[in-house]
């Protein structure tokens, strides 16, 4: 976070002196010989360029890894149904053991046989009557072990386009997973830009505050000497001490915020130690390419729009599948025994036709529902196109406004530098006052801080623009082409 610096008031000399000492920046950083240990600790932290941060994000992000797994799962599922509607062959085998028991009543047979014997000639009937008689009943016991096997073939010859509809639905789901993964990657890229350059801006603010603290130390020592010689009053000395305490508190707060920003960056990249961003804030002096080019790119590759289009294809596939179920289905089939002991196997083959003429579901209502789903997806896509185009224009204008504002602030910085030069010359020649010199230094620091904030706004607006056009991976190219850079330790 950067604290806005306000110019000293010329109405209160003592208050102005304290505020000016607190906010004296710029060249004070170079002259403040050993300033504060926190600055040295920040400089000792490992430096990290933005390109290195991108590589760490790609390799360490659990969110990106999870999105990649989702895409791979959807692609494998799509590949798994490519053969849907083709023939399938199955082998069935079974082994079993059985035991059967049956009680057979033989009385009807005995009576019938007795009637037949009575009708025969006496010699023949007498001979038969000497044979053993049938028992009144017979119990049959049977047990055995068997094994059997068969091969079956089923081939959908015509299923009304159901296979194509299912394949199209799975392909649309794979595209949706890819769109979600792209959106995650774009969002993480923007988050990285926000935290990386936010840490860079916070580091610059902390260094400015620490430079202010070093300057206040110098003026506090001077005030102590002035009090001893009677040049200033006791009240003025207390004001200097209050300014020193306030400057120390502000420096600690700025350093804590810089460390917090560095920690947030490290957590985003999943590293333990805080990092020191080495890629500076930047601004391109040249305007962006034409707005229409960014809108065309967004309409062609924005992941949100790709997801809406995938949803529309899913709705169309579901509608086609429902319509396929209303058509007749033609299936080829075959079945054959598997015999190991020789002999001709039993087999059967043929064609089956099935056509559902009526069932308990209202197919017309389901078809109408599917059509409404398609219309909903189409309308959503139209609205998404309009919203994305508006978002791109908003972000494009934000980038241009930040760029032109930064360039316009150059005149203010030049004026502030010239005013400081004149005040320094006047102080050396005895024609100016210390108050005028401090006011000039505060004004220069204020302008420099505001320009750093504007550069940060430019970077965030650029990241938002590229995300809204689906081109977040092009951020590094824009950063490399920028001709204005503001390092954290720049005066």
The predicted pLDDT at position 379 comes to: 92
119-153 b/e with 16+ CB inside 10 Å = b? eeeeeeeeeeeeeeeeeeeeeeeeeeeeeeebbee
Tell me the helix, strand and coil percentages in the chain, rounded to 5.
65, 15, 20
DSSP label at 479?
A: H
Specify the pLDDT at position 436. 62
How many CA within 13 A on the CB side of residue 229?
7
DSSP secondary structure letter of residue 148 = E
List domains and CATH numbers for the chain.
15-83+160-486 (1.20.1600.10)
State both tokens at 66.
Answer: 């999870």
**Tokens coding 50:** 């933005």
- Distance, CA of 378 to CA of 388 (rounded, Å): 15
- For residue 280, give every residue at least 6 positions away whose Cβ sits within 8 Å of its Cβ, in sequence order, or none: 200, 485, 486, 487, 488, 490
Sequential pLDDT tens for the chain (491 residues): 333 333 333 323 333 333 233 233 333 333 333 344 555 555 566 788 899 998 888 888 888 889 899 999 999 998 988 888 888 998 888 887 878 777 777 667 666 666 665 665 666 555 555 556 667 776 777 787 878 788 998 888 888 888 889 999 999 999 999 999 988 888 889 899 999 999 998 888 788 778 777 777 776 777 788 778 877 678 877 877 787 888 788 889 888 988 899 888 988 888 887 778 889 999 999 999 999 999 999 999 899 889 999 999 999 998 888 888 888 989 898 988 887 666 788 888 999 998 888 878 888 888 888 899 899 889 998 999 999 999 999 999 999 999 999 999 999 989 988 998 898 787 677 675 555 666 676 677 778 878 888 999 999 999 999 999 989 889 989 999 999 988 766 65
The H or E element spanning position 48 is strand 47-48
Contacts of 157 (CB under 8 A, 6+ apart): 330, 331, 332, 351
Contacts of 417 (CB under 8 A, 6+ apart): 444
CA atoms within 13 A on the CB side of 261: 26
Find out whether 98 and 143 touch, Cβ atoms under 8 Å: yes
Pull the structure tokens for residue 80. 């798994």
Rounded Cα gap, residues 109 and 146, in angstroms: 33
CA distance 110 to 292: 106
User: Which residue has tokens 């962006």?
Assistant: 288
**Token representation of residue 146:** 């068997």
Q: Are 5 and 23 in contact (CB under 8 A)?
A: yes
Length of the chain: 491
Token pair in block for residue 471: 């081109």
């Amino acid at each position: 976070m950067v604290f806005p610096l306000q110019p000293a008031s010329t109405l209160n000399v003592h208050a102005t002196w304290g505020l000016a000492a607190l906010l004296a920046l710029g060249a004070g950083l170079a002259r403040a010989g050993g300033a504060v240990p926190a600055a040295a600790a920040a400089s000792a932290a490992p430096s990290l360029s933005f390109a290195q941060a991108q590589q760490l994000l790609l390799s360490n992000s659990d969110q990106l890894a999870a999105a990649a797994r989702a895409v791979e799962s959807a692609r494998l599922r799509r590949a798994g149904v490519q053969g849907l509607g083709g023939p399938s062959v199955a082998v069935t085998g079974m082994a079993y053991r059985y035991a059967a028991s049956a009680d057979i009543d033989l009385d009807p047979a005995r009576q019938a046989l007795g009637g037949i014997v009575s009708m025969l000639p006496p010699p023949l009937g007498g001979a038969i009557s000497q044979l053993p008689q049938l028992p009144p009943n017979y119990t049959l016991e049977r047990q055995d072990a068997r094994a059997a096997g068969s091969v079956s073939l089923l081939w959908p010859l015509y299923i009304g386009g159901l296979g194509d509809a299912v394949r199209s639905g799975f392909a649309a789901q794979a595209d949706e997973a890819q769109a979600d993964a792209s959106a995650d990657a774009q969002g993480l890229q923007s988050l990285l830009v926000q935290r990386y350059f936010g840490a860079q801006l916070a580091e610059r603010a902390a260094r400015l505050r620490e430079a202010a603290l070093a300057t206040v130390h110098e003026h506090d020592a001077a005030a102590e000497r002035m009090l001893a010689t009677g040049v200033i009053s006791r009240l003025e000395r207390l004001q200097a001490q209050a300014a020193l305490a306030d400057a120390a508190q502000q420096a600690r707060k700025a350093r804590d915020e810089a460390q917090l920003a560095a920690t947030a960056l490290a957590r985003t990249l999943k590293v333990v130690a805080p990092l020191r961003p080495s890629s500076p804030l930047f601004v391109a002096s040249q305007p962006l390419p034409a707005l229409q080019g960014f809108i065309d790119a967004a309409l062609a590759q924005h992941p949100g729009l790709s997801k809406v289009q995938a949803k529309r294809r899913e709705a169309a596939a579901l509608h086609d599948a429902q319509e396929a179920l209303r058509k007749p289905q033609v299936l080829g089939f075959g079945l054959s025994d598997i015999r190991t002991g020789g002999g001709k196997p039993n087999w059967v083959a043929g064609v089956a036709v099935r056509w559902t003429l009526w069932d308990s579901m209202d197919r017309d209502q389901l078809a109408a529902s599917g059509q409404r789903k398609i219309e909903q997806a189409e309308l959503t896509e139209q609205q998404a196109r309009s919203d994305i185009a508006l978002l791109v224009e908003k972000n494009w204008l934000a980038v241009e406004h930040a760029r032109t504002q930064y360039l316009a602030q150059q005149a203010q910085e030049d004026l502030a530098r010239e005013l400081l030069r004149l005040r320094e010359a006047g102080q050396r020649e005895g024609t100016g006052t210390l108050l005028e010199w401090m006011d000039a230094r505060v004004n220069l620091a204020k302008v420099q801080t505001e320009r750093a904030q504007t550069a940060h706004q430019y970077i965030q607006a650029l990241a938002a623009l590229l995300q809204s056009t689906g081109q977040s991976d092009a951020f590094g190219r824009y950063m490399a082409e920028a001709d204005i850079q503001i390092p954290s330790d720049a005066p």
